[in-house]
Chains A and B, each alone.
Chain A
Amino acid sequence: MSTTNQAILEMVDIEKHFGAVIALAGVSIAVYPGECHCLLGDNGAGKSTFIKTMSGVHKPTKGKMLVSGKEVVFQSPRDAMEAGIATVYQDLAMIPLMSVTRNFWMGREPTIGFGPFKQFDFKTANEVTMTEMAKMGINLREANQAVGTLSGGERQTVAIARAVYFGAKVLILDEPTSALGVRQTSNVLATIDKVRKTGIGVVFITHNVRHALAVGDRFTVLNRGKTLGTALKGEIKADELQDLMAGGRELADLSASLGGTI
């Protein structure tokens, strides 16, 4: 967990313009293996645009992207996936009425048999699903229970386990804790910790400072399409992060009037 490591993914001075709107005006971050990089920002700070740039949905107007030190240009999300950059969006790409196994393998189903009798290898698929979920600390009742019967945190974990199993080197999580209760949130944070320990670089997008401080190794605050540098764990306090996110004193004043409860 040292800075002498080579970054898996580096974004250098990324700018993204949509016509006259400058969504990103020079954002730089570096993601290291085995680290959780928290990207904080209020609504409209440019988080979504930045994620989509990392995952190949948008092409940056200016700036460089480096994967393991080599410059890359992604033409599509598929290119990013092939480079090992997996993104778990808020909708999770999960279908509630389908089983956990069917969701886990969707689009990449293992098959068994020959020619016209080739069929979905449920035995292998179920076993791998159960094992991968167990690694993330969730013991499923059965692999063929519908995803809709899982809690929000468990669904999030299925999506993460899927990305990890299919070879993610960088895992981008788009506000994974935003819609969850307290216990579910701590489960997801524990999952992030497990993923990080396998050597994957995690990009954790959130606007909750407490969630970020719980698992983050590095913190980058995005405000009005810009970053103000990256802080290491222990270098920065919760209220400083909060101030940076709000972009100034007004929130501090507001916070004081609310008795420091935000």
Chain B
Amino acid sequence: MSTSQPSSVPAGAPAADERLAKVSFFKSFLQRPEVGAIVGLIAIILFFAIYANQSMFSLAGFMNFMQPAAQLGILAIAAALLMVGGEFDLSIGSMIAFAGIALGIPLVLWGWPLGLSILFAFGVAIVFGAVNGFIVLRSGLPSFIVTLAFLFILRGLTLVGLKAATGTTQLRGIQEAAGDSWLMQIFSGNAFEGLFTWLASMGLIETFKNGAPKVQGIPVEIIWFVVLAIAASWLLNKTRFGNWIFAAGGDPNAARNVGVPVARVKIILFILTAMAATLVATITVLQFGTADASRGLLKEFHAIIAAVIGGCLLTGGYGSAIGAMIGAVIFGMVQIGITYTNINQDWFQVFMGAILLIAVLLNNWVRRKAMSSR
């Protein structure tokens, strides 16, 4: 970009403008979408530190609340990416049940090997994710309505399919049919069992009287959860596709005008969300040994709540995967933590609703403050 009159052009960009004060760490922290979630997490930890039995914060207690947090978190991370991209998917809860039978029926009734059955379930998820996205983008209807339809369609198909195949609403015998495949290690049970046994033998973690560790390893869903959170965060913040997700959600017209393939981005996000639901389905089906028509009930709302607590804007174009991860942890802590207190469990939903409201108000306020200060 050379010009004929270099004298009128200042040489290069100023590395640091001496006229401007350095932005305080606090201010730049407030501009992060996760800020509400982090504040909420600290508040929740303080609350349970005071009111809950201290065994909640032992290693066993930690695994106890992280396990449901991880299952929800896997969904929430995908839902967060989709929300940043400007769309919702209300069908993911039903997708968990549907993918469960898409895995269970070939495995148990058709005698397919486990690996092929898992691939089949993911294939089904990719098709339905793409169909969701395609209808939304072609019709221009809000994704809220289209995926609400699929919430019922997929739940109903699961019921019809299970009744036709087994006569009941549950398919049993998964673990027997799966056998001793290495895939069982990846999708169920605990990881790092050897490490935990060694830690127990060194006296570094709590053990039972016979010397076996109280916590045998890290449940695999927690590993999946953390790995996916890091991967999604990298995708969103550090890649070209991530920039397209922000652009597609922030202003699809503006994005299209500068050449962002908005439709492709959104369809890929719908597929990723359906695949996340299938991953949760695979983990739960192998863990419980059954595929159940009622599995994943209300999970779509829980995932959206976690994403919103994590700083996602309902209008799209703003949010974070790490925030959704923290949102899911808050969810798990409240759900399980309440059993460590004297509070009646029935209060759980009241707590979650209140946290959602507070998080949204806080996020809203912080964002307005961050955007207005020049």
Chain A residue nearest to B234 in the complex (CB): A119
Give a binary string over A144-164; 1 marks a CB under 8 Å from any B CB, 0 the rest. Answer: 001011110000000000001
- The reply to whether A93 and B254 form a contact with Cβ atoms under 8 Å apart is yes
Which of chain B's residues 314-356 have a Cβ closer than 8 Å to chain A? 317-318
CB-CB under 8 A from A93, the residues of chain B are 251, 253-254, 257-258
CB-CB under 8 A from B253, the residues of chain A are 91, 93
Question: Given A106-B260, A141-B20, A142-B23: A95 and B251 within 8 A (CB)?
Answer: yes
Q: How many angstroms from the CA of A44 to the CA of B3 in the assembled complex?
A: 38
B4 at the interface (CB under 8 A from A): yes
Task: Return the contact of A95 from the options B1, B17, B254 (Cβ within 8 A).
Answer: B254
- The reply to whether A139 and B247 form a contact with Cβ atoms under 8 Å apart is no
- The reply to whether B317 and A98 form a contact with Cβ atoms under 8 Å apart is yes
CB-CB under 8 A from B244, the residues of chain A are 107
- The reply to whether B246 and A95 form a contact with Cβ atoms under 8 Å apart is yes
B55 at the interface (CB under 8 A from A): no
Q: How many angstroms from the CA of A130 to the CA of B17 in the assembled complex?
A: 11
What's the minimum C-beta distance from B254 to chain A, rounded to whole angstroms? 4
- The reply to whether B23 and A134 form a contact with Cβ atoms under 8 Å apart is no
What's the minimum C-beta distance from A145 to chain B, rounded to whole angstroms? 9
Question: Given A107-B247, A109-B240, A141-B20: A131 and B12 within 8 A (CB)?
Answer: yes
Task: Return the contact of B371 from the options A96, A102, A122 (Cβ within 8 A).
Answer: A96
CB-CB under 8 A from B258, the residues of chain A are 93, 106-108
Q: How many angstroms from the CA of A78 to the CA of B313 in the assembled complex?
A: 31
Count of CB-CB pairs between chains A and B under 8 Å: 110
Question: Given A119-B238, A127-B13: A107 and B23 within 8 A (CB)?
Answer: no
- The reply to whether A134 and B242 form a contact with Cβ atoms under 8 Å apart is no
CB-CB under 8 A from A132, the residues of chain B are 1
CB-CB under 8 A from B255, the residues of chain A are 95, 106-107
A179 at the interface (CB under 8 A from B): no
What's the minimum C-beta distance from A248 to chain B, rounded to whole angstroms? 37
B10 at the interface (CB under 8 A from A): yes
- The reply to whether B371 and A149 form a contact with Cβ atoms under 8 Å apart is yes
Which of chain A's residues 191-238 have a Cβ closer than 8 Å to chain B? 194, 197-199
A111 at the interface (CB under 8 A from B): yes
Majority secondary structure, B binding face: loop
CB-CB under 8 A from B53, the residues of chain A are none
Question: Given A106-B258, A149-B373: A120 and B251 within 8 A (CB)?
Answer: no
Chain B residue nearest to A142 in the complex (CB): B23
Task: Return the contact of B240 from the options A89, A118, A149, A197 (Cβ within 8 A).
Answer: A118
Q: How many angstroms from the CA of A134 to the CA of B1 in the assembled complex?
A: 13
Chain B residue nearest to A132 in the complex (CB): B1
B216 at the interface (CB under 8 A from A): no
Q: How many angstroms from the CA of A146 to the CA of B373 in the assembled complex?
A: 11
CB-CB under 8 A from B234, the residues of chain A are 119
Residue of A89, A107, A146 contacting most chain B CB atoms (<10 Å): A107
- The reply to whether B14 and A134 form a contact with Cβ atoms under 8 Å apart is yes
Question: Given A95-B247, A198-B3: A120 and B12 within 8 A (CB)?
Answer: no
A17 at the interface (CB under 8 A from B): no
CB-CB under 8 A from B8, the residues of chain A are 194, 197
What's the minimum C-beta distance from A172 to chain B, rounded to whole angstroms? 13
Question: Given A91-B254, A149-B373: A107 and B13 within 8 A (CB)?
Answer: no
What's the minimum C-beta distance from B364 to chain A, rounded to whole angstroms? 13
Which of chain A's residues 27-45 have a Cβ closer than 8 Å to chain B? none
Question: Given A95-B317, A109-B243, A141-B17: A146 and B371 within 8 A (CB)?
Answer: yes
B9 at the interface (CB under 8 A from A): yes
Give a binary string over B1-25; 1 marks a CB under 8 Å from any A CB, 0 the rest. Answer: 1011100111011100100100100
A133 at the interface (CB under 8 A from B): yes
Question: Given A102-B243, A120-B240: A108 and B259 within 8 A (CB)?
Answer: yes
- The reply to whether A97 and B9 form a contact with Cβ atoms under 8 Å apart is no
B374 at the interface (CB under 8 A from A): yes
Q: How many angstroms from the CA of A141 to the CA of B251 in the assembled complex?
A: 24
Give a binary string over B255-282; 1 marks a CB under 8 Å from any A CB, 0 the rest. Answer: 1011110000000000000000000000
B239 at the interface (CB under 8 A from A): yes
What's the minimum C-beta distance from A26 to chain B, rounded to whole angstroms? 29
Question: Given A93-B254, A93-B257: A151 and B374 within 8 A (CB)?
Answer: yes
Q: How many angstroms from the CA of A133 to the CA of B373 in the assembled complex?
A: 21
> Could you list 15 A-B pairs, sorted by A, with CB under 8 Å?
A78-B259, A91-B254, A93-B257, A95-B255, A98-B246, A98-B247, A102-B247, A107-B259, A111-B240, A118-B239, A135-B1, A141-B20, A151-B374, A198-B3, A199-B4
Q: Which 3 A-B pairs have the closest CB atoms?
A: A130-B13, A95-B250, A107-B259
Query: Chain B residues in contact with chain A, CB under 8 A?
Result: 1, 3-5, 8-10, 12-14, 17, 20, 23, 31, 234, 238-240, 242-244, 246-247, 250-251, 253-255, 257-260, 313, 317-318, 370-374
- With A97-B371, A132-B1, A199-B4 already in contact, 7 other A-B pairs whose C-beta atoms are closer than 8 Å: A93-B254, A96-B250, A98-B246, A107-B244, A107-B258, A111-B240, A149-B372
